[in-house]
Structures are given as C-alpha cells and as structure tokens.
C-alpha cells in the first residue's frame, strides 16, 4: 500500500496542467506538422490528438507517404517558414532543425531525445517516462525483485548513474554495464551479474541499433527465465514481461499545449517535459511461465494484460 500511495502521489504531480489547461491563443499563428511516417499507428494517434487540441491552422507533411526530394522539401519549408513546427519522430525533427531552426520547434515521439541536437528554440515531450515512476511501478508490481540488470551507452551514461542512486532509495539494486567498454550490447549483457532478478531494457540507440545483439539478449533472458522490463509495446511480442510506455494520445495533446503556450508568447518552464500519460502492459503468460511472484492488487493499475 505504501508503494501504491507513492505512485498515486507521483502521478498527481506530473505536468498535466500543460495538457488540460493551456494558455488561450492570442493572434493566430501558423503551425507546420511534420510526421516521420503517418502510416505508423503510434504516430497517427499522436497527430490526431495534436490536431484535435490545437486551435491554430496547421499544414501537414507526411515524410513517409510522399517522395519529398531534398530541393522540393527545402523550397516548401522556406516558403512556408512556419511560426512553429511540430515534429513527430526523429526524422521529422532533424528535417525541421535543418531548414527552420530559427523558428520554434516542438517535438515528440523521439526515442531517447538526449541523442538529438537541440536548438535554442526547441521544446518537446520526452518519449521516456520519468525514472521515479518506472522504479515505483517495478517495485509495486514485482515487490520481490531487488536486483535489476541494465546495459547502457554514451547517451544514457549520466541517466544510468542518476537512476541507480534513486533505485537504492527504494531498495532496488541496479547493476549496469557500459556498452562502450565491452564492444557490443550482448557482450555487455554477458558481464552483468549472473544473479540479476530482471533485465531493464532502456531506450538507447547503441542498444536498439544492435539488432543481433538485442535479439540474443532477449533469447537468453527467456531461456534463463529472467523477466525483461521495457519501454515499447513492440517488445511485448518479443517476450518482455513488463512494458511501461507513453500514452500516444496524451503525448499529442501535451505537444499541442506546448505549441499553444509558445503561440501565446510564453515559453514552457522545461525545454523537454516528461510525458504526462503512461500505458502499462503486463505479459501474464510469461509471469506464470517464469514463476515470478507479483502483487495481485497491482493488476488494477495495468492497462493491458497478455494472457
């Protein structure tokens, strides 16, 4: 019950005020929305939520649906030269940064935003949940898991040190290994202590781009019945036990709130805000197969249970 109260209190202090009560717009401004690929359901949901919330006129570009040549895209962006550009995904953000960096840029749905270069006019919503929330949910759902393994790279090294210290306060021991010191994600995984009770797969490009190494890690964890905690629902199909991801519609509304604040002449207090909503998936089939003890009361907090 103590952990449940902590989760409830933490959620109450998330920056939801930007989503539910953004500043009223003053003069009408122009917004350009660039979607890296609107055919992806997650990106599509984000875009729909953004368009529903913003009162400003919005021009849209889908980089995944049309063959935008470099010259054509460059001319279009220079002709439009929008007051605010909202970018969904990394490809969209890098496009905006290249051509309209002098204007406001708002981004979302970028995995590990720490790796992208921000401009002085860049604001956004992170695609990674706050580490405090993740740790509390790990402890709440699986109270007996006290030692968690993690591998990380150059983009997440500082974050690892921060989360390791916070985990100790919750009596969770995070054991980590830097990929740069081992030559690969699977090699780094192999250097973790053999008695880890779970593996936390984080959003780090050094890990996700190493597809062969990642596949080996997931296969090894399954063979050893080590539950995998992850950040994206795609990993549920690959055997992850617990996925804590952002809520896509909430992210779209949050990005709209940021754009509306900028359009009213104000600047958000944070350059990059933590996501205001979450979605929890629990693979109960794996939980039972691995023989993991869990808190049955915690199931009420789970959005999707895979049987």
Per-residue pLDDT of 17-44, as tens digits, reads: 344 333 344 456 789 999 999 999 989 9
Q: How confident is the model at residue 6 (pLDDT cuts 50, 70, 90)?
A: very low
Other C-beta atoms lying within 10 Å of the C-beta of residue 144: 10
Instruction: State whether 168 and 291 are in the same domain.
Output: yes
Instruction: State whether 258 and 159 are in the same domain.
Output: no
The CATH number of whichever domain residue 238 belongs to comes to: 3.40.50.2300
Query: d(Cα 198, Cα 221) in Å, to the nearest integer?
Result: 9
Instruction: State whether 299 and 166 are in the same domain.
Output: yes
Check residue 302 and give its pLDDT.
94
pLDDT at 7 over 60: no
Check residue 67 and give its pLDDT.
67
pLDDT at 9 over 50: no
Instruction: State whether 29 and 92 are in the same domain.
Output: yes
Q: What is the mean pLDDT of residues 165-178?
A: 94
Q: How confident is the model at residue 14 (pLDDT cuts 50, 70, 90)?
A: very low
Instruction: State the average pLDDT for the chain.
Output: 87
Strand 173-178 to 84-88 pairing? unpaired
Q: How confident is the model at residue 163 (pLDDT cuts 50, 70, 90)?
A: very high
Tens of pLDDT, residue by residue over 104-150, are 999 999 987 878 899 999 999 998 888 898 999 999 999 999 999 99
List C-alpha distances in Å: 282 to 146, 176, 218, 296.
19, 24, 16, 12
Instruction: State whether 59 and 43 are in the same domain.
Output: yes
**What domain count does the chain have?**
2
Instruction: State whether 231 and 138 are in the same domain.
Output: yes
Instruction: State whether 228 and 261 are in the same domain.
Output: no
Check residue 81 and give its pLDDT.
86
> What residues contact 305, with CB distance under 8 A and at least 6 apart?
281, 282, 284, 299
Query: d(Cα 190, Cα 42) in Å, to the nearest integer?
Result: 33
Instruction: State whether 192 and 121 are in the same domain.
Output: no
Check residue 184 and give its pLDDT.
87
Q: How confident is the model at residue 273 (pLDDT cuts 50, 70, 90)?
A: very high
Q: How confident is the model at residue 66 (pLDDT cuts 50, 70, 90)?
A: low
Q: What is the mean pLDDT of residues 168-182?
A: 92
Check residue 181 and give its pLDDT.
82
Check residue 73 and give its pLDDT.
83
Compute and round to an integer the Cα radius of gyration of the chain. Answer: 20
Instruction: State whether 136 and 102 are in the same domain.
Output: no
Instruction: State whether 19 and 142 are in the same domain.
Output: no
Instruction: State whether 29 and 108 are in the same domain.
Output: yes
209: containing domain: 131-245+280-306
Tens of pLDDT, residue by residue over 148-161, are 999 999 888 989 99
Check residue 23 and give its pLDDT.
39
Instruction: State whether 25 and 173 are in the same domain.
Output: no
Other C-beta atoms lying within 10 Å of the C-beta of residue 201: 25
């Amino acid at each position: 019950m103590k952990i449940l109260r902590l989760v409830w209190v933490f959620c109450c202090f998330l920056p939801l005020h930007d989503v539910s009560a953004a500043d009223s717009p003053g003069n009408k401004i122009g917004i350009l929305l660039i979607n890296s690929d609107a055919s992806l359901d997650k990106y599509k949901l984000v875009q729909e939520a953004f368009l529903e919330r913003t009162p400003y006129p919005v021009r849209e570009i889908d980089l995944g649906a049309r063959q935008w040549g470099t010259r054509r895209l460059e001319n279009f962006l220079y002709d439009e030269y929008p007051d605010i550009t909202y970018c969904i995904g990394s490809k969209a953000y890098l496009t905006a940064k290249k051509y309209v960096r002098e204007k406001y840029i708002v981004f979302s749905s970028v995995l590990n935003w720490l790796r992208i270069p921000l401009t002085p006019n860049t604001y956004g919503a992170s695609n990674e949940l706050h580490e405090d929330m993740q740790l509390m949910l790990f402890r709440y759902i699986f109270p007996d898991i006290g030692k968690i393994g993690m591998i990380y790279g150059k983009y997440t090294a500082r974050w690892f040190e921060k989360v390791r210290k916070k985990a100790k306060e919750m009596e969770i021991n995070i054991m980590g290994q830097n990929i740069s010191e081992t030559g690969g994600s699977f090699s780094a995984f192999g250097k973790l202590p053999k008695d880890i009770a779970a593996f936390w797969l984080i959003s780090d490009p050094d890990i996700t781009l190493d597809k062969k190494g990642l596949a080996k890690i997931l296969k090894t964890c399954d063979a050893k019945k080590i539950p995998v905690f992850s950040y994206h629902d795609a990993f549920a199909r690959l055997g992850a036990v617990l996925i804590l991801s952002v809520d896509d519609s909430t992210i779209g509304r949050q990005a709209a709130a940021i754009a509306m604040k900028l359009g009213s002449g104000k600047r958000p207090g944070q350059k990059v805000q933590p996501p205001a909503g979450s979605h929890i998936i629990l693979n109960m089939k794996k939980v039972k197969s691995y023989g993991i003890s869990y808190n049955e009361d915690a199931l009420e907090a789970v959005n999707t249970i895979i049987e």
